[in-house]
A and B are shown apart, each in its own frame.
Chain A
């Protein structure tokens, strides 16, 4: 074996093997660098410019198709089936719902939670759009005229981090009369207002 490896053919074989090792390392590093380990599916945002400034984006939740969870004490038929909502005095005044969220083209683009509580009279939404970020909205418990509930964008992450504004919530009952149709939908309309950046600072960046 020693003589075979020491022979010209053996040395070439060893060199080929070493080149293979280097190629393998380079290929693995290159592949990890070039190809994203995670590639989130994106739907184009449907954003309109509001007449009085800011941008408007509409979302909706189709009920009951998009409802994932209804968490509230004393429900006879839990959703999802088999869920055990904690029986705890501390949580008796909370109602928490989880949904899938659709854009204006009726495509699911994210998930959301809606929480209402009796002790501070508030309704709060968190919209989580995986490719873009999350929005946190605190709304008044009392609906305005026309059944519209108004809330302020309290915080946001990633794409939504620099945005302020408000969001409205409205229940629209389904009037199609279809037997297997939805009972209605929750319409959410977000009005984003960006943070003002003076021209000097913009230039510096």
Chain B
């Protein structure tokens, strides 16, 4: 009996050790420098409130950490869309002025490999900027650094929350440099094919309710012709 207890205690310690190494693994480096920030081309910046209660509409399966907003919105409870969320938000330019409207579709990815430090979400943005045109952005986002540095400390804290400053690039593909693929649809952006990166700036997180204070930002590289047209 005592050998069985010893074995089980060892198994529990082993699992705990594995989880600790997985979370604190120094070899899983964070990608803090965006490839877009070192480009020579012009870059368009669009920011949005990344907290459901500050968005226009946010919906998911209704049982996730982030509650839908407004409360009576239709929820995505059907099996094929249960791991999906949708958010509509006002997009603001670098000066904080309203630039347009965007909708983000996010689904947990089956390519998630926690062993490799990948907690992936497949997401797509549709953004309409009046007077300029529309953009479609497809990307894979990696939430592992966020889980490791924000969500896990919040879960471990006695108050179940985290406060601080966390800034990280979420985009992890499909571009070779870990960038998102951006396609222009109409207006000035018609025919545009370029790269983008989405980043998240978090200031407060609750283990019970998710993000409390956070802002998202999309950086989109603009070829010179499009940038000149947009500025006119």
Contacts and interface: CB of A to CB of B under 8 A. Distances in A.
Interface in B112-127: 112-115, 119, 122, 124, 126
How big is the A interface, by class? 35 or more
A12 B3 CA distance: 8
Contact of B185 (A80, A96, A124): A124
Nearest to B121: A38
A24 to B, nearest CB: 2
B10 A24 contact: yes
A191 B78 CA distance: 26
Interface of B: 2-3, 6-19, 56-57, 59, 70-74, 76, 78-84, 86, 88, 90, 98-101, 103, 105, 107-110, 112-115, 119, 122, 124, 126, 128, 130-131, 133-134, 136, 138, 174, 181, 183, 185-187
Contacts of A133: 122, 138
A62 interface: no
A68 B16 CA distance: 43
Contacts of A43: 80
B72 A96 contact: no
Contacts of B90: 86, 88, 91
B41 to A, nearest CB: 20
A110 B79 CA distance: 10
Contacts of A71: 56-57, 88, 101
Contact of A41 (B74, B79, B112, B128): B79
Contacts of A84: 56
A127 B90 CA distance: 20
A124 B105 CA distance: 15
Given A71-B101, A100-B78, A110-B80, A20 B126 contact: no
A37 B7 contact: no
